Amino acid sequence: MIEELKNKKIGVLMGGTSMEREVSLKSGNAILSALNRLGYNAVGVVIEDDALAPLKEQGIELAFIALHGGFGEDGRIQALLEFLKIPYTGSGVVASALAMNKPHSKAIFAQRGIPTPRFVPALSEEFVFDEMKFSVPVVVKPSCEGSTVGVSIVRERRDFSKALAEAKRYDDVPMVEEFIDGREITCGVLDGEALEVVEIVPISGFYDYQAKYTAGGSEYIVPAKLEPKIREYVRELSKRAYDALHCQGAARVDFRLHPEAGPFVLEINTIPGMTERSLLPMSAKAVGIDFDELVERILKNAMVKKK
């Protein structure tokens, strides 16, 4: 147990109002169980439309954020906690906001020489294909959503309008990204150090929301079967992406691995899932960090930030 937190009340923030609410509740309850096993005074704080009221009612002294998607990963809850002077886990306001906004984070990656698929705002079909000279297949996605919500792979230009309409259900200005053929891999980062690389093999061929959260929807290879130099390069890129946005605590970097061009960073998740099917715990376990230790390491970082 972290001595400084021995008599502190820890609130596990979960729920929220995003499309990822149910996943957040699962993550939050798993974290809460771990904190209780470790002997901490921890309570669940379920966030609805009004986040301020439950935070005040519970009187927590440290927040363990398990809110996925909007208001959890976009910097707003972090800003509220800073206003209330409540220490919290994970990245700060700016890093969270940048990571949640894919065009902004990808622009920073590109500036830092971190390979990421070419992208443009999805202003119109003509803009994407005629002016910007993209060719199918492309990926159409909301600019600020997680868990592959609203994401479509467009393999024929005639399907673009339908994909754009789907993405616009979640975002006013979605983005279009070149499709990178290859393998789906991810790597956790904890306190600035890369964990193990995990390969995801979706049964349907596309790692969408169902593949992520349905039992049997995907297979996971831990560690990913990669050549040693590719594995180390993926881990290096994970650290560079984490550092480029000034992330803190735990994060997860998602990639596509092209058979010839190598790895491309798709995005970084500053509040990765912490369910029994989540990738960060898999990545940590592969380097000898079990779930309870992972939770405590994330918690410890919040105290380091406070100082």
CATH code, domain with 147: 3.30.1490.20
Same domain membership, residue 108 and residue 236: yes
Same domain membership, residue 166 and residue 283: no
Same domain membership, residue 235 and residue 111: yes
Same domain membership, residue 272 and residue 206: yes
Q: In this predicted structure, what is the pLDDT of residue 179?
A: 96
**How large is the average pLDDT for residues 120-133?**
95
Same domain membership, residue 287 and residue 212: yes
Same domain membership, residue 285 and residue 199: yes
Instruction: Decide if 158 is inside a domain.
Output: yes
Instruction: Decide if 186 is inside a domain.
Output: yes
Instruction: Decide if 300 is inside a domain.
Output: no
Same domain membership, residue 226 and residue 104: yes
Kindly report the CATH number assigned to the domain that includes residue 110: 3.30.470.20
E-strand ranges in 147-192 read: 152-154, 175-178, 183-190
Q: Which of the following is catalytic: 96, 147, 218, 301?
A: 147
Mean pLDDT of the chain: 92
- For residues 163 and 165, what is the distance between their CA atoms, to the nearest angstrom? 5
Domain boundaries, position 171: 119-178
At 46 the three-state DSSP class reads strand
Same domain membership, residue 217 and residue 108: yes
Q: Which of the following is catalytic: 105, 184, 273, 278?
A: 273
- For residues 104 and 144, what is the distance between their CA atoms, to the nearest angstrom? 10
Per-residue pLDDT tens digits for 256-295: 999 999 999 999 999 999 987 899 999 999 999 999 999 9
Same domain membership, residue 224 and residue 104: yes
Per-residue pLDDT tens digits for 83-109: 999 999 999 999 999 999 999 999 999
Q: Which of the following is catalytic: 20, 74, 184, 199?
A: 20
Same domain membership, residue 103 and residue 239: yes
Per-residue pLDDT tens digits for 60-74: 999 999 999 888 899
Q: Which of the following is catalytic: 177, 184, 254, 296?
A: 254
Q: In this predicted structure, what is the pLDDT of residue 146?
A: 62
**How large is the average pLDDT for residues 121-145?**
93
**How large is the average pLDDT for residues 195-203?**
93
Annotation marks residue 213 as catalytic: yes
Instruction: Decide if 103 is inside a domain.
Output: yes
Q: Which of the following is catalytic: 40, 170, 207, 213?
A: 213
Count structural domains, the chain: 3
Higher pLDDT, 234 or 18: 234
Annotation marks residue 273 as catalytic: yes
Residue 157 has, within 13 A of its CA and on its CB side, a CA count of 10
Per-residue pLDDT tens digits for 173-188: 899 999 999 999 999 9
What are the tokens at 49?
């439309």
Q: In this predicted structure, what is the pLDDT of residue 6?
A: 86
Same domain membership, residue 105 and residue 245: yes
Instruction: Decide if 59 is inside a domain.
Output: yes
Q: For residues 271, 272, 275 and 278, what is the CA-based torsion angle, rounded to 10 degrees?
A: 180
Annotation marks residue 227 as catalytic: no
Instruction: Decide if 298 is inside a domain.
Output: no
Per-residue pLDDT tens digits for 148-165: 778 999 999 999 999 999
Instruction: Decide if 278 is inside a domain.
Output: yes
Higher pLDDT, 216 or 154: 154
Same domain membership, residue 280 and residue 266: yes
- Positive or negative, the CA dihedral 151, 22, 298, 65 is positive
**How large is the average pLDDT for residues 139-146?**
86
Q: In this predicted structure, what is the pLDDT of residue 205?
A: 57
The pTM for the full model equals: 0.92
Annotation marks residue 147 as catalytic: yes
pLDDT over threshold 50, residue 245 = yes
Lowest mean pLDDT among 19-23, 211-215, 271-275, 284-288: 211-215
Tell me the H-state helices in 38-185: 52-58, 76-83, 93-100, 102-111, 125-126, 160-168
Annotation marks residue 267 as catalytic: yes
Decide: 305 and 248 in contact? Cβ < 8 Å: yes
Q: Select from 178, 200, 223 the last residue of a domain.
A: 178
Annotation marks residue 254 as catalytic: yes
Decide: 149 and 209 in contact? Cβ < 8 Å: yes
Q: Which of the following is catalytic: 152, 238, 269, 278?
A: 269
pLDDT over threshold 60, residue 212 = no
Q: In this predicted structure, what is the pLDDT of residue 206?
A: 53
**pLDDT band (50, 70, 90) for residue 307:** low
Kindly report the CATH number assigned to the domain that includes residue 50: 3.40.50.20
